[in-house]
Amino acid sequence: MDMSQLTSLFGWMLVINVGIYALAAVFIIFARDFAANLEARITGVPAEKWPEIFVGYLSQYKIAILMLNFAPYLALRIVA
């Protein structure tokens, strides 16, 4: 795998993960009560705790995207 293919791979990984993050964020913002009640029924965790869990999930996912997708993509773009 050469440098351009690797750069392309990380670029598409970044696009896909940002899309998933945006979809999750929009769903949590606009359907918070529905999502919290659904997750409460599935897991048994009270619906009142789910907004805090969602925020933690989104923040950790954002950090993972930055570290595992954006930083390598940016480094490959700079080197190439």
Query: What pLDDT tens digit does each residue of the chain (80 aa) get?
Result: 899 999 999 999 999 999 999 999 999 889 989 989 999 999 999 999 988 999 999 999 999 999 999 999 999 999 98
Query: pTM for this one?
Result: 0.85
Domains of the chain: total: 1
What is the C-alpha separation between 73 and 77, in angstroms, rounded? 6
Domain range for residue 27? 3-79
First to last CA, the chain: 14
Beta strands in 1-80 (DSSP E): none
Q: Amino acid letter at 4?
A: S
Region at 47 (left for phi over 0; alpha for psi -120 to 50; beta for the rest): alpha
